[in-house]
Amino acid sequence: MRIGHKFWGLPIILGLIFAVIYPYLAFQLNTVIYFLLFSIMFFTALIYDFSVSTFNTKDSPYIALFLFFGFLLMPAIQWLVSQLIVRDQILQQGLFYASLSPIAIVAPHFVKLKAGKDSLSYQLMWFSTLISPLLILVMSFIFSSQQIDISLSSYVRDLAFLCLSPILISAIIKKIIKREHIFIQNIKNYLPALNFICIGLLSYTLLGTMLVKVGFSAISYSDLLALFFLALVQDFGTYFLAHYLLPEHNDNGLKKTLVISISIKNVALSAGLLLFYQPKMAFAAAMGLAAHSLFFIYLSLRDGNKEKSKV
């Protein structure tokens, strides 16, 4: 499915458009949100070989700098700016949680597209997924003025379950059947198409459910614009700031990998969980999906323009 390789932003855009047109159908399907989130992570973990590592311990300080930038400094900046331009405190909290989301599963795809180290991107993705519950606890403690409108312990518990269970179940299955088994090989061949469909359905059900539960009328136009701006900062801002401000490395592929990886957060994971706690917070997190669609198209088209220039 070639379209799944080049136009990852398309299913998100279509999902968002249909959510506005047919929100009540999406609301009827909202029970599949957990299933979609689980499926995307499970199938990716199923085909990934965790025994293969391209991590070089000599690069640890360099990698740590990017992780600090993407998961501590940028969320802190976004939180500070949100206090200034977003009036609704619940929306501020939603942005705060979204900024702490782990690296998205599609990040390694774009790393590979840009001739980076996709295997390292996968490792960073799984690492950020595993530490995400702990990171939220730590950051919530640091930003104590950020009054939590939901049960933090329950949210972290559910996040840990949703992050860990796909990895553990896939590991058990791979213990029973070999990675060369035809079932796993078929999953590997069709994974781009499966993720392409799942991301579109997830975008549709998430936004449609939020529109029914919250609606645009419950959010001021100024806050909507501020949310979208901060979502763009999360993707484009992190990408360009990390690219131009952080130091170069003698291995150019390493910097490409890190810049792209920390720029694409799994906001769907945060939005999907927050939807069952506080839909308005989830609305803020889901704005990241709209930014993702534009950022994915930007990365794909920029790659295409480079290919044309080489001809």
Q: What is the pLDDT of residue 310?
A: 40
Q: What is the pLDDT of residue 303?
A: 56
Task: List the domains of the chain with CATH numbers.
Answer: 3-305 (1.20.1530.20)
What whole-number distance in Å separates Cα of residue 274 and Cα of residue 206? 10
Contact 54, 123 (CB under 8 A): yes
Q: What is the pLDDT of residue 1?
A: 42
Tens place of pLDDT per residue across the chain (311 aa): 444 456 677 888 898 899 999 999 989 888 888 888 888 888 888 877 766 656 667 778 888 888 899 888 999 999 999 989 999 888 988 888 889 999 988 888 888 888 788 888 888 888 888 888 888 888 877 875 555 667 778 888 888 888 888 888 888 888 888 766 777 777 778 877 888 888 889 899 998 998 898 877 788 889 999 999 999 999 999 999 998 888 887 777 888 889 999 999 999 888 888 888 888 888 888 888 889 989 988 888 765 445 444 43
Q: What is the pLDDT of residue 61?
A: 87
- Start-to-end CA distance of the chain, whole Å, equals 24
Handedness of CA 266, 202, 160, 55 (dihedral sign): negative
Q: What's the predicted TM-score (pTM) here?
A: 0.83
